[in-house]
Structure 1
Amino acid sequence: MNLKSLKILSIIFLALFYTSVTSCKQDKKNNSEDILNENSTTSSDSLFFKLSLAQWSLHKPIYDGELDPMDFAEKASEMGFGGIEYVTGFYAEEIKNAQDPDAKMKQILDTLKTRSERHNVENLLLMVDGEGDLAVNDSVIRNQAVENHKKWVNAAQFLGCHSIRVNLFGSDDPEEWKNNSIDALTKLSTYAEEKGVNVLVENHGYLSSDIDLLVEVMQGVNMENCGTLPDFGNFCLKREGGERWSAKCVEEFPKYEGIKKMMPYAKAVSAKSYTFDENGNENVIDYKKMLQIVKNAGYNGYIGVEFEGEDISYSKGITATKDLLIKAGSEL
């Protein structure tokens, strides 16, 4: 073999060697990127719960006309949520004022269902407000409130929601309130049972936030499809001036004790939030402590983000709450 041939072979060998090394480095790089991508996958996948968005978190842009409540599913999907919890009050007035309320209800529900399917989010529950107090002493008014809620049971069934959330407002006398609540919930839950829908009570102020009383109501109804929706933040029993909302709270049920007592009956959970510190923790609610209580109860369903703060935008508040749930949940 002459010198010229040796040079050619050397060049070929070097070229092959370089190609082999480069390919090996590229494979290692690709493997590293794959590992990095796996590590950066949203850690919510490994949590004991799933994340949903409560529509009330969007009440400001909805009331300000910046967001159409019909676009709820799209907005929730954009923000990374797999489930959604509707507020009926955002649709009820349009339905009530329509020439044909039944037709308007059908139109709205058809649209909401189509959009939830398009954006691949699960319809979970309807938070029902403004349909009459279920714990009033007057049986005629109480029974009418039960009837008013039935259309939302039907709506929940159509949308594929597992539950409706109701309020227990009415009498201020604990014994009257308890008996009235048992009566109304039993009637409504009996109707909802036929539709495959749960009726959930949220701790939403006044006697509904007296969890010892609420547990007595659950025991009195004693139906599988009647349960609770524990809210991390709604434990105010009394406000200044006897106001139902807005005024300063002057008496509160112990929140962690309240969640623990509600969890045996819970079919949904609401993560209320208001303000956050520099480390991203909620200022008045210990999320890790709350989630430990929820986990200890064996709950593994959706936890809904419900931001009510005033100091930051709704989008930042929702994201901060979601991030905190993921962080706290991953530490358990």
Structure 2
Amino acid sequence: MRISVSSYSFDKLLSSGEMTQFDCIRKAKEIGFDAIEFVDILAPDGVSKEDYAEVLSKECKHMELPVSSFTFGADFLTGSGGSTDLEIERVKKMVDIAAILGAKLIRHDAARGDGRSFDAILPIIANACREVTVYAAAKGIKTTVENHGYFCQDSDRVEKLYNAVGHENFGLLADMGNFLCADEPPEKAFGRIAPYTFYAHAKDFHVKSAMLPDPGEGFFRSRSGNYLRGAIIGHGDVPVLHCIRALKNVDFDGYAAIEFEGMEETITALTIGFNNLKRYIREA
């Protein structure tokens, strides 16, 4: 199992203008990561996403830092003006950008929900995911959907989606922390979906019960109202080591990418998280 870092982990520095995605490559290499994951393409003004993806790709090759994944949003129910066909075509264009980046795997979302039950919309999103993965397979790129966004988040739902798509090029991105957003124990969920996992996100959260007073700034609510706040890997309540062991039980040999979204200083948090995750993988 190799360790990557999501460019989303640098979000505070990217948003403030202190860093660019280009800078993230060198910093990831400096910390010791084996690869980097790009979340969208944040091109400078006047530069197309395609051109900037090529710049990023060249720098990754120069630094000998592979692109482990290209991550972006999608919604096959309400995206692109509510047209599933138009959203499929938009996602295919993002697959083209992934090819420019040199990424061999992408993560796109499936749906945020539109008031119908998950089972009711499952055929729609499964067909869309299948069409995208067939397109991506021709370019040598695997596709995944993450347990993300409250609606398509529970382990039984992403398992149903995996089975409904039914294509060898399609799998799951398993996020260790995100199951808590749907109030599901991560260790139980990981044991369920590990066999279908192509890629993992290592994420930690501080968790407080909805029965307790609101802890204030920095926390957000789970689907049923529990309080969550991003944490350094190993500092929170997510059973990271347990999740790694669940992956190792099925001989997972892909990337686990740190996705940090805590309040701590970014570089310090990523360095501590990297060292902890490296140790956990060794001990699992």
- After TM superposition, the score normalised by the length of structure 1 is 0.72
- Over 4 Å off, 4+ runs: 136-140
1:159 to 82, 85, 101: 101
The structure with the largest alpha-carbon Rg is 1
The answer to whether 1:142 aligns with 2:95 is no
Write the distance in 2 (CA, Å) between the matches of 1:159 and 1:89.
10
1:8-27 map, 5 Å: none
Write the deviation string for residues 63-88 of structure 1: whole angstroms up to 9, x where unpaired: 01110122221121111112110010
Distance 1:288 1:81 in 2: 18
Residue 236 of structure 1: CA displacement? 4.7
Give the CA deviation at 1:206.
1.7
Q: Identify if the C-alpha distance between structure 1 residues 284 and 177 changes in structure 2 by more than 3 Å, giving closer, same or farther.
A: farther
Which deviates further from its counterpart, 179-188 or 56-65?
179-188
Percent identical across equivalent pairs? 25
Q: Deviations over 1:81-118 (max 9, x none)?
A: 12110010534xx5xx85xxxx7233212211110011
The 3-state SS of whatever aligns with 1:284 is coil
CA distance in 1, matches of 2:87, 2:180: 24
How many equivalent residue pairs?
258
What's the counterpart of residue 256 of structure 2? 303
Alignment of 1:1-332 (within 5 A): 49-88=1-40, 90-91=42-43, 98=46, 104-129=48-73, 132-136=74-78, 141-169=83-111, 170-172=113-115, 173-236=117-180, 251-274=182-205, 281-310=234-263, 312-332=264-284
Q: TM-score, normalised by structure 2?
A: 0.83
Change in CA separation of 1:187 and 1:271 when aligned onto 2, cut-off 3 Å:
same
The alpha carbon displacement at 1:258 in A equals 1.5
**Residue ranges of structure 2 left out of the alignment (5+ in a row):** 207-228
Between 203-212 and 136-145, report the one with greater CA deviation. Answer: 136-145
SS at match of 1:230: strand
* Cα distance change of structure 1 residues 56 and 139 upon mapping to structure 2, 3 Å threshold: closer
- CA distances 1:222-253 after superposition (whole Å, capped 9, x unpaired): 1111110000111255xxxxxxxxxxxxx512
Aligned residue identity for 2:114? S
Question: 2:6–2:37: 8 Å Cα contact kept in structure 1?
Answer: yes
Q: Give the secondary structure class of the aligned counterpart of 1:209.
A: coil
Separation of aligned partners in 2, 1:140 and 1:284: 38
8 Å contact 1:166–1:200 — kept in the other structure?
A: yes
TM superposition shift of 1:259: 1.6
For residues 253 and 174 of structure 2, what CA distance do their matches in structure 1 show?
Answer: 14
Q: Deviations over 1:26-80 (max 9, x none)?
A: xxxxxxxxxxxxxxxxxxxxxxx11111111100000011101222211211111
Q: Which is richer in strand?
A: 2
Q: Is the 2:162–2:171 contact (alpha carbons within 8 Å) kept by the matching residues of 1? A: yes
> Offset of 1:160 from its aligned partner?
2.1
**Any idea what SS the aligned residue of 1:267 has?**
strand
Q: Distance in 1 between matches of 2:166 and 2:67?
A: 26
Cα deviation, residue 292, structure 1: 0.8
Whose RCO is larger (CA < 8 A, sep 6+)? 2
> C-alpha offsets along residues 107-163 of structure 1, whole Å, 9 cap, x if unaligned?
21221111001111011111112xx41244999611111111112211222222111
More helix by share: 1
